[in-house]
Amino acid sequence: MAVEKDTQKAFGWAARDSSGILSPFYFTRRVNGDSDVTIKILYCGICHTDAHFVKNEHGFTVYPLVPGHEIVGEVVEVGSNVHKFKSGDKVGVGCIVDSCGACDNCKQDLENYCPEMVFTYGSITSEGRNNFGGYSDKIVVDEHYVVRIPHGLPLDSAAPLLCAGITVYSPMNYFGLNRPGLHLGVVGLGGLGHVAVKFGKAFGMKVTVISTSPSKERDAIQRLGADSFLISRDAEQMKAAVGSMDGIIDTVSESHPVAPLIDLLKAHGKFVMVGAGTEPLALPPIPLLLGRKLVAGSNTGGIKETQEMIDFAGEHNITAEVEVIPIDYVNTAIERLVKGDVRYRFVIDIANTLPA
Ligand SMILES: NC(=O)c1ccc[n+]([C@@H]2O[C@H](COP(=O)([O-])OP(=O)(O)OC[C@H]3O[C@@H](n4cnc5c(N)ncnc54)[C@H](O)[C@@H]3O)[C@@H](O)[C@H]2O)c1
Ligand SMILES: [Zn+2]
Ligand SMILES: [Zn+2]
């Protein structure tokens, strides 16, 4: 393959069309700039967003698409203006690789709400090129968008913190759903949900999982530390829990009824949607206004908060429950993820299974 000036060779797996099937793909990345670090990717988690994107479920996928935004790796090159990192450091990259740096949100370390934010894959970069994610051998990223992995966290099970972790930690923090004694509901016990349970317990909260899968109850309580478990299709159980929760984080990736969830909130309770389904939510006005309840959304987190989240995870020994897979299992893994058949995150062993 010819390599253009100012680029370097890279290799990964890409989807080429809305079948979403991934296959080996040769491409180029920019050469390491003055503020960049080049990261040899070791592990990359498979987020449900990757599944939405490879199949173009949101309607704006640009192919070829190399997914992956739960990236952990080792710094192998640093630019002359890089101050935070040196070669050999273990680092992570999440959902964001660029932003304007000058807007009100950027000035408050909220790059995740910058109108010019560039997602890690499937976005057009400032050089006008389609960018590629972490199902690949290396990535070149401005050091601002890179975080340090705390010593002691295993690199494979830390990878999902870069998206799943920050996506639940940020709204818990922002909406005050991080205080001891409060009651948190977590809807959907998948990649995001199981990490939300762990953060909720580390914050000293009472945590209830709300799920459609009775088979996950034992895991939720014994392995993840949840206090209770509600089957959302069991009207009796749901009725008994009405008005009991201070906040709910909804991580469900598909269309589902939210009215029964709003009923679980106490007055002034907060319902935060982080799942990225494509259908409009059916929100009943009366229960909302009678209880002065808040309905909100949240999009990943800023870089400063991502570092704070992963440091907190390091102190509290919080990692994802992972099934580590070789790259050539990725299509099966995505199929299984879509069916809800994963406990609780697939992580690709890039360094050992993606040939250069
Ligand atoms: N807001 C953000 O910044 C952000 C970041 C990451 C992911 N997401 C989105 O969050 C969603 C979840 O991502 P994930 O990686 O955790 O996916 P996942 O597939 O690992 O988890 C979703 C879980 O919800 C369960 N579920 C499905 N229907 C349900 C229902 N009606 N009630 C209760 N549980 C139900 C599934 O069985 C699964 O366990 C996706 O839509 C993803 O795109 C958003
Ligand atoms: Zn994600
Ligand atoms: Zn900005």
Note the residue count of the chain. 356
Pocket test for ligand 1, best of 252, 300, 339 (most atoms within 8 A of CB): 252
State CA 287 to chain mean position distance. Answer: 30
Instruction: Provide the angle, in degrees to the nearest 10, between the axes of the packed helices 164-174 and 303-316.
Output: 100
How far is 106 from 108, CA to CA, in rounded Å? 5
**Mean of the pLDDT values across residues 50-60?**
95
**Mean of the pLDDT values across residues 74-80?**
98
Residue nearest (by alpha carbon) to ligand 1 atom 2: 299
- Residue 124 — very low, low, confident or very high, per pLDDT cuts 50/70/90? confident
How far is 199 from 197, CA to CA, in rounded Å? 6
SS (H, E, C) the chain: CCCCCCEEEEEEEEECCCCCCEEEEEEEEECCCCCEEEEEEEEEECCHHHHHHHCCCCCCCCCCECCCCCEEEEEEEECCCCCCCCCCCEEEECCEEECCCCCHHHHCCCHHHCCCCEECCCCECCCCCECCCCCECEEEEEHHHCEECCCCCCHHHHHHHHCHHHHHHHHHHHCCCCCCCCEEEEECCCHHHHHHHHHHHHCCCEEEEEECCHHHHHHHHHHCCCCEEEECCCHHHHHHCCCCEEEEEECCCCCCCCHHHHCCEEEEEEEEECCCCCCCCCCCHHHHHHCCCEEEECCCCCHHHHHHHHHHHHHHCCCCCEEEECHHHHHHHHHHHHCCCCCCEEEEEHHHHCCC
Which atom from ligand 1 is nearest to the alpha carbon of 273?
1
Which atom from ligand 1 is nearest to the alpha carbon of 297?
1
Class of domain 164-297: alpha beta
Residue of 198, 206, 244 whose CA lies nearest to 227:
206
Which numbered ligand comes closest to the C-alpha of 69?
A: 2
Average pLDDT of the chain?
96
Residue nearest (by alpha carbon) to ligand 1 atom 13: 48
Which numbered ligand comes closest to the C-alpha of 163?
A: 2
Say which CATH topology domain 7-163+319-353 has. Quinone Oxidoreductase; Chain A, domain 1 (3.90.180)
Ligand 2 centroid to residue 69 C-alpha, Å: 6
Q: Which residues does a 6 A CB cutoff place in the pocket of ligand 1?
A: 47-49, 52, 163-164, 167, 187-193, 211-213, 232, 251-254, 256, 274-276, 298-300, 337, 340
Output the pLDDT for position 6.
Answer: 85
Ligand 1 centroid to residue 252 C-alpha, Å: 4
**Mean of the pLDDT values across residues 171-195?**
98
- Residue 1 — very low, low, confident or very high, per pLDDT cuts 50/70/90? low
Output the pLDDT for position 131.
Answer: 94
Residue nearest (by alpha carbon) to ligand 1 atom 30: 212
Output the pLDDT for position 125.
Answer: 80
Ligand 2 centroid to residue 17 C-alpha, Å: 20
Residues of the chain with CATH 3.40.50.720: 164-297
Whole-model pTM over 0.90: yes
Which atom from ligand 1 is nearest to the alpha carbon of 340?
37
Residue ranges with CB less than 5 Å from ion ligand 2? 47, 49, 163
Alpha carbon of 142 to those of 82, 121, 132, 147, 295: distances in Å?
9, 15, 15, 11, 35
**Mean of the pLDDT values across residues 151-180?**
98
Output the pLDDT for position 150.
Answer: 98
Residues of the chain with CATH 3.90.180.10: 7-163+319-353
Say whether the peptide bond before residue 26 is cis (omega within 30 degrees of 0).
no
Output the pLDDT for position 55.
Answer: 97
- Amino acid 264 reads L
- Residue 128 — very low, low, confident or very high, per pLDDT cuts 50/70/90? confident
Which atom from ligand 1 is nearest to the alpha carbon of 298?
1
Task: Judge whether 2 and 311 are in contact, CB under 8 Å.
Answer: no
pLDDT tens-digit profile of 193-243? 999 999 999 999 999 999 999 999 999 999 999 999 999 999 999 999 999
Ligand 3 centroid to residue 286 C-alpha, Å: 37
Flag whether pLDDT at 2 surpasses 60. no
